[in-house]
């Protein structure tokens, strides 16, 4: 009886041998080579970029009112340190933090001729009855979440630490440029000073004269750190 032939698909067959005349059939040899799957290629995602805030080109402007908005004062506070995390490929801000040097609070709306009045107001803002900069020289805003609001407008959700108190703080910002080495953003925000304990001590009447809300305008320029990764 002739032995049954074993059929092997062409992908496994190296050769097929015909049986000689009058002899028994010879079973074809299967390939001993192992067919391997193509190697997996690791896809490397680009690391987010880091831009360090240029303190010489960044500032926060403030404006406070009293008597229900009938009178106001304005000034600046300098940025002490900061960094922004971003995705340059999508021109997207991802996070960051900014620190303010509260000892640099200055009044800018009073004329030079009123130097004494300007100095008195500045001392009052720096003193323990208001921002208490001797005990709390730094204010800090940490960005926890960035949500796109169309175009170059984003909403920043984070935490503001002021006068030793940390509370949620959110506002909208406009990202103006994502250049290869430069990033610039501006924002307007309003904070209720009473939520951070910025109040006259033991004087409810004085607190009532000064409005609770303080308007802030951020103008931040940051420079890209070449070759640096996440912080």
CATH number of the CATH domain containing 218? 2.40.128.110
Which residue range is the domain that position 67 belongs to?
Answer: 49-224
What pLDDT was estimated at residue 17? 40
Contact 73, 110 (CB under 8 A): yes
What pLDDT was estimated at residue 35? 55
pLDDT tens readout for residues 103-134: 999 999 998 788 999 999 999 999 998 999 99
Q: Which two tokens stand for residue 47?
A: 């690391």
Q: Is residue 35 part of a domain?
A: no
Q: Is residue 11 part of a domain?
A: no
pLDDT tens readout for residues 61-113: 999 988 676 779 999 999 999 999 998 788 889 999 999 999 999 999 998 78
Q: Is residue 137 part of a domain?
A: yes
Poorest-pLDDT segment among 62-66, 145-149, 224-228: 224-228
Domain total for the chain? Answer: 1
The residue count of the chain comes to 231
Q: Is residue 25 part of a domain?
A: no
Q: Is residue 37 part of a domain?
A: no
Question: CB burial class (10 A; 0-12, 13-18, 19+) of residue 223?
Answer: middle
* pLDDT average, residue stretch 18-46: 48
């Amino acid at each position: 009886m002739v032995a049954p032939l074993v059929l092997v698909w062409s992908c496994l067959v190296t050769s097929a041998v015909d049986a000689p005349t009058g002899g028994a059939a010879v079973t074809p040899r299967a390939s001993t080579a192992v067919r391997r799957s193509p190697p997996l290629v690791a896809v490397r995602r680009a690391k987010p970029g880091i831009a360090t805030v240029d303190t010489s080109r960044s500032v926060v402007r403030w404006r406070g009112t009293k008597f229900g908005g009938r009178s106001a004062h304005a000034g600046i506070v300098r940025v002490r340190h900061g960094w922004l995390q971003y995705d340059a490929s999508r021109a997207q801000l991802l996070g960051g933090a900014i620190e303010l040097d509260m000892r640099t609070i200055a009044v800018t709306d009073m004329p030079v001729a009123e130097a004494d009045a300007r100095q008195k107001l500045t001392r009052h803002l720096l003193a323990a009855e208001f921002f208490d900069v001797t005990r709390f020289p730094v204010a800090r805003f940490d960005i926890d979440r960035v949500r796109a609001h169309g175009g170059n407008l984003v909403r920043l959700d984070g935490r503001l630490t002021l006068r030793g108190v940390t509370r949620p703080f959110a506002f909208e910002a406009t990202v103006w440029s994502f250049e290869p080495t430069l990033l610039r953003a501006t924002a307007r925000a309003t904070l209720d000073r009473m939520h951070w304990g910025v109040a006259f001590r033991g004087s409810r009447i004085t607190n009532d004269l000064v409005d609770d809300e303080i308007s802030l305008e951020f103008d931040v320029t940051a420079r890209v750190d070449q070759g640096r990764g996440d912080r």
